[in-house]
Amino acid sequence: MSSDASGDVHRSVIVSLIGTTLVWYDFFLYVSASVLVFNHRFFPYLTPFAGTLMSVGLYGVGLVARPVGGVLCGHLGDRHGRRPALVATLVLTGASTGLIGVLPTYDRIGLAAPLLLVALRMLQGLGLGGAWGAAAVVSLECVPPERRGRISSWAQTGAPAGNLLAFGMMTAVSASMTSEQFVTWGWRLPFLFSAVLVAVGLWARMRIGETPVFRALSSAGARRERPVVELVKDHRGRLLTAAAVAVGADVALFTFSFGYVLTFLNVAGVPFTALLALTVLSPLALIALIPLFGLLSDRCGRRRVCLAGTVATAVWAAGFLPLVRAASLPVLVVAYLLALVAFAAMYAPQAAIVAGLFPSHLRLSGTTTGYQLAGLLGSTLAAFLTTRAAGWFHTSAAVPAYALAALLVSGGALLITRHAPEGADT
């Protein structure tokens, strides 16, 4: 591989990691701020419970906007180039996140404050809708097939990296000032920090050229006028398969995040200091494990590794509540750590698998639309189920059962497509 090609690979790794880290940084940051700040600063006219519900519910506005962003990014990337799609998603996501950090609150501008917050959440959703898909496609198209699992897995590493970064920023800022200072103005600093991620990401993205695959499409005159229309018309099976492959990890990430598992461990008697350590060590472990399983997927087969991780994660979901009720604390902690290994195996190859399902002239449209379809059907419902399922279904088993069902769907999709070749003209 030439030095220029090697440099493009390295820069594509940086771009993928920064882009998806910004996505998940925004996600975890907004959830934390919703509970700690937004109900006080933007919805003071509501009861505390209603204010918290409203501010968290605004996250759903961003989730609903994501499929629209996925379609728009897919069209831009398949019609005009992967690089414009990368830059557009990064700027839109980072700018809207940063603007939340300077947004006047209700006591300054009244009802305009929550309305502007809703508008910024929608803009974030549009940017986030295409960010992961653009990162995955650039990673896939900048390297030869035998390295796609390892390089594309860096796009997946952004999830734990964003989680850790958001937790670290919120913790550091809140610990450095009084509670009143944090609620009044300190909460803005983590949002403004997103500008740093945008600047680094733009530096990296502007230094990579168009992918070789898209350059070949342009030279051959094979770009489509309406890629999304052709995708839905001629490749519905691939689109549904992509959504099915992604939905299991998406639901597992949402249902077993937000402290859901850690809350159960706390109830089971795990000390607070141990929980805090797990909160920090869990994303660190995933940051290390995901690239390793990406490398393993290149050697052993991406679908095979992903399927093994999916099955193991499904076993964890099925056995979670019995373990909480019957196992000792050391066994619970070990089971939790093993579940991280299983999740990493499932999650690491998914970017390469999903992006590889589609032919090159529709790849970004298929990747973004399929992934966001999984998010709309999976994680959007999961975000509400984690807080309301026990009341609706009168059992704490509802959330693990939902995760198990989604994982079974993903496992079935991987079995169906295990012999299918990657998209044409890769």
| CA pseudo-torsion sign 222, 226, 230, 236 | positive
Q: Does residue 353 or residue 48 have the better pLDDT? A: 353
Assess whether pLDDT exceeds 80 at residue 379. Answer: no
Q: For residue 31, what pLDDT is reported? A: 74
pLDDT in tens, 169-189: 998 999 999 988 998 899 999
Q: For residue 147, what pLDDT is reported? A: 85
Q: What is the mean pLDDT of residues 293-305?
A: 94
- CA distance linking residue 326 with residue 270, whole number of Å: 14
Write down the architecture of domain 3-416 according to CATH: Up-down Bundle (1.20)
Q: What is the mean pLDDT of residues 371-391?
A: 71
**CA 128 from centroid of its chain's CA atoms:** 9
Q: Does residue 329 or residue 112 have the better pLDDT? A: 112
Q: Which of 128-142, 335-349, 350-364 comes out lowest in average pLDDT? A: 128-142
Contacts of 370 (CB under 8 A, 6+ apart): 238, 239, 240, 241, 242, 243, 246, 354, 357
pLDDT in tens, 255-272: 665 556 666 666 666 677
407 — pLDDT class (breaks 50, 70, 90): very high
131 — pLDDT class (breaks 50, 70, 90): confident
Amino acid at 182: F
Amino acid at 368: T
Ordered by start, the domain boundaries in the chain are 3-416
What token pair was written down for 287? 């940051």
Q: For residue 341, what pLDDT is reported? A: 94
Percent of the chain with pLDDT over 70: 82
Residue for token pair 């958001």: 166
Exposure b/e, 100-133, CB count within 10 A at least 16 = b: bbebebbeeeeeebbebbeebbbbbbbbbbbbbb
- Do residues 36 and 48 make contact, with C-beta atoms less than 8 angstroms apart? no
330 to each of 18, 268, 270, how far by Cα in Å?
Answer: 35, 11, 9
Region of 221 please: left (phi>0), alpha (psi -120 to 50) or beta.
Answer: left
